[in-house]
Structure 1
Amino acid sequence: MLKYCLFAVFLATVGATNFYQIHNPRTSFGYVYNNGSVDAPIKIEMYMGLQCEDAAKAVPAVKAAADAYGAGVVQLKFHVFPLPYFTGDFLSCKGTRVVSNLAPEKVVDFMQTIMTNQYRIGRAPCTITDLELMELLTDFAVEMGVDRDRFYVQFSNPHTTNHCKQQWKAHIASGIYASPTFKLNGVHVVDWNPSWTKQDWSALIDYLLAPPVHGELTTPGIMW
């Protein structure tokens, strides 16, 4: 009898949800720029806080590189990574999630609009209240064709908040801790700095597309 009781306890333990488990998303996190192909040989991921000035300055160069090569060669994906010391960042993350649900083709433009208006939002602390920021985000979305009432409903939905929380946890668990952070084909670009231009990105991409060969082995730093 005891062994059956122990077995029942074991099953109950195994079947229980792990308190520390980060929720698995139904689709991968991130917002793809300009319909970048999933089969593109070069995949760049940018993690950024929407109130981060360094991120706002970095976006044009990486976008220009993606545009130069085209969606079939470079897939550029943006990840919203709200910085806890920029108090408006999490609300901006929620607004981005709502637009991605209601008008997915506008989500990158929505993020760009928020970064363009950083001066109106402030950083640490926010220079406007949470309610004022929510209204500002709503106005941005409405200007892009999103229905105001639907935006309100989804913004206040606990599922929206939970998605953004789980997304943040997943990024932290994967080693993201700063904005902006870049990954190229799944590996951190540790030498990125704010002075990078389109040409810097192109040099890195070209090296991967057509690496020089040294003898029988490829150039160090390139993996096949």
Structure 2
Amino acid sequence: MSLPVLVAVAVIIAAGCCGRCGAQLPIPARTDGFVWGAPPGPAWGGAVVVEAFFDPVCPDSRDAWPPLQKAAQHYGAGQVAVVVHLFPLPYHSNAFIACRSIHTVYKINASAVYPLLEKFFKYQEGYYNQPTYTKSRETIVAEITNNLVAPVIGEANLAAYKAGFNDSQSDQATRISFKYGCARGVTGTPYFFVNGMPLGDSGSPVDYTTWISTLDPLVGKM
């Protein structure tokens, strides 16, 4: 091709890339994430906010939750607020299903979100890539529904759960959670922000002592 043609092609490609990069990400109806414990209410403005990005089938996310929970309990909701964002890692085959399950349960009973997340953490090894390699998606969804979801929300709510799991809203909410994490620069789980700033130890579990040493200088100083 001649030089003018090459320049024209380069301009067209660059314009296309800029258009894609500049596209507006979908804005959710509510802020992404699930507040742990009692809603902070008016105390939110005076609390240190810890945001945790977890994948329900990530072993490091599982190990990171108990020390963070313990640290938050140490201070109380008025001093430290914890918000968990779901971040389904693409290399964990069943992560999207797990996160979609939690979003669906939230619509039925918001107080069941953390019990279900902890169920996933407790039994996640059964949903790793290798144990489910020969199972169909339908089988995996059925196992999660019967073994994890049903004990948390009760048999009476299963029909509503199944309908919600298969509608476009739960799919969209899960996609938004992933895109929200990407927009914040999250690359793996667990990933933490404290008052909006990324924590240096993100990517691996943070122990209780480290949480206390991180939060102590901040509590009560906002």
Same fold (TM over 0.5): yes
2:72–2:81 Cα contact (<8 Å) kept = yes
Paired positions, count = 195
Q: Structure 2-normalised TM-score?
A: 0.81
Task: Tell me: CA distance 1:40–1:120, structure 2 relative to 1, closer, same or farther (3 Å).
Answer: farther
Task: Tell me: CA distance 1:22–1:192, structure 2 relative to 1, closer, same or farther (3 Å).
Answer: closer
CA distance in 2, matches of 1:176, 1:184: 14
1:54 aligns with 2:54: no
Determine which of 29, 34, 47 is the counterpart of 2:32: 29
1:133 aligns with 2:143: no
Task: For structure 1, list consecutive stretches of 5 or more residues without a partner in the other structure.
Answer: 1-17, 212-223
Higher helix share: 2
Deviation of 1:86 after TM superposition, in Å, equals 0.4
User: Identity over the aligned pairs, expressed in percent?
Assistant: 21
* 1:46 alignment partner, SS class: strand
Q: Structure 1-normalised TM-score?
A: 0.80
Match of 1:63 in 2: 69
Determine which of 142, 152, 160 is the counterpart of 1:144: 152
1:175-190 correspondence to structure 2 within 5 Å: 175-190=185-200
2:72–2:82 Cα contact (<8 Å) kept = yes
What RMSD in Å do the two structures reach over aligned CA positions? 2.1
1:199 aligns with 2:209: yes
Task: For structure 2, list consecutive stretches of 5 or more residues without a partner in the other structure.
Answer: 1-20
- Name which structure has the greater RCO, CA cutoff 8 Å, separation 6+: 2
Q: Which amino acid aligns with 1:208?
A: L
Determine which of 132, 139, 153 is the counterpart of 2:163: 153
CA distance in 1, matches of 2:193, 2:22: 29
Match of 1:82 in 2: 88
* 2:218 alignment partner, SS class: helix
* 2:102 alignment partner, SS class: helix
Match of 2:115 in 1: 109
Determine which of 70, 95, 98 is the counterpart of 1:92: 98
